Amino acid sequence: MEPVPPDDRSCGAGAGPVETTVALDGEAGCIAGARHLTGDFLTRVQREHGVPVSARTLDVAQLVVSELVTNALRHAPGPVLLQLRVAGAAVEIAVWDSEPALPVPRGADPTRVGQHGLEIVMAVAQDFAVVSEPVGKRIVARLGLLDGL
C-alpha cells in the first residue's frame, strides 16, 4: 500500500487542499495500514503545513477510516480507494468501492451484535454523504480539524 504523495500546495488561507489517495487490496493488515496512513497524513499536514489538528480528530479520523474501509472490503468486490483531503478547517475521508448498492444505516438496536460501523461514522462526522458513481459509490465523512469545529 503506497500512498500517492500529497500535493505540494499549502493548505493555508486561499490555497488548495492537501491530499493523498491509496488503493487498498484487502490483503492482511491493510485496514491497520489505512489507519496508520491516516495518522501519518494528519501528523505530516500539521508538521509541514502548520495546520492544527487536535488529538481527538486524529483518533476519530483513524476510527472513521477503519470503519469505512472495513465495510468496503467486506461488502464490495475488487479494490477500494481511500482519499484523505484537508481543506480549510476539515479533513475529508472518502472511500470508494465498486459495489453500486448504497449502504443504508440501520436503526438503533442495542441487542444487535456488529454492523454498527455506519452508525458510528455518522455519529462522529460533521458531515456525511453517500454518492453514486458511474462505477460503484463513494462515502465521504468530514471531520473538523479542531474540537468543536
pLDDT digits (tens, 9 = 90+) for 2-46: 444 444 333 444 455 699 999 998 888 899 999 999 999 999 999
Average pLDDT, the chain: 85
| Cβ neighbours around 57 below 10 Å, total | 20
How far, CA to CA in Å, does 130 sit from each of 27, 47, 55, 108?
Answer: 25, 31, 27, 20
Task: Give the CA radius of gyration of the chain.
Answer: 15
Q: Please give the Cα distance from 44 to 39 (Å, whole number).
A: 9
pTM: 0.84
Centre a 10 Å sphere on the Cβ of residue 147 and count the other Cβ atoms it contains: 10
Q: What is the pLDDT of residue 115?
A: 66
86 vs 30: CA distance, rounded Å: 22
Superfamily for the 18-107+115-144 domain: Histidine kinase-like ATPase, C-terminal domain (3.30.565.10)
d(CA 149, CA 91): 11
Q: What is the pLDDT of residues 86-112, one digit of tens each?
A: 988 999 999 999 999 998 877 767 776
Residue 17 corresponds to which cell in the numbers above? Answer: 487542499
Q: Where are the domains of the chain?
A: 18-107+115-144
